[in-house]
Amino acid sequence: MLRIPLLLLTTALVGLPSQAGVLEWLGLSPEPVASSSFLPVEQAFVLTSKQTPAGLQLEFAMPPGYYLYRHRLSVSPHNASFGDWDLPTGTPHEDEYFGKTQVYYQKLELTIPLQQVESDGRTEISYQGCTSGLCYAPQQVSIPLAPLR
């Protein structure tokens, strides 16, 4: 006789995960609560770009506690060519992901001289950053460039 109520309870609970918040209410959250405190990558590393007569201006903005790895940042031209430029020296940093390295905190501004840009020119930017307790996957962004006059 106990089997029927137990079977009914089990059947009812199987359908509950589709109900918002039920797993959390039961203390069976599928993700750790701390995971919600990490920003999505596009908010953690905000990239803006602007093409000017001086070149391509790039800016990364990061909230406090977030940082970009210098050795994981690259800017590559496609159907375009850059003048001479270098990444600025970063702040020394050591963590469990990459050991001793250099990172950028809060803001990174770059101006990359453009020598030539074809009609389908673009810049490919690759980067990776972290915060305490989380290292984001490497990211790639493609920025179209306007032909030079």
Return the structure tokens found at 45. Answer: 């590393």
State residue 7's pLDDT score.
42
2-6, 81-85, 118-122, 142-146: which range is least confident on average? 2-6
State residue 97's pLDDT score.
81
pLDDT digits (tens, 9 = 90+) for 27-81: 444 443 345 689 999 999 999 999 998 899 999 999 999 999 999 999 999 999 9
DSSP labels for 43-64? Answer: HHSEEEEEEETTEEEEEEE--T
State residue 54's pLDDT score.
86
22-36, 114-128, 129-143: which range is least confident on average? 22-36
State residue 60's pLDDT score.
98
State residue 100's pLDDT score.
96
Give the residue ranges of DSSP H helices in the chain.
3-14, 22-25, 41-44
Q: Residue 149 pLDDT more than 50?
A: yes
**38 neighbors 131 (Cβ within 8 angstroms):** yes
State residue 27's pLDDT score.
40
Q: Which domains does the chain have, with CATH numbers?
A: 3-30 (no CATH), 37-144 (2.60.40.1250)
pTM of the model: 0.74
Residue 119 pLDDT level (bands cut at 50, 70, 90): very high
Question: Could you give phi then psi for residue 40, rounded to 5 degrees?
Answer: -60, 150
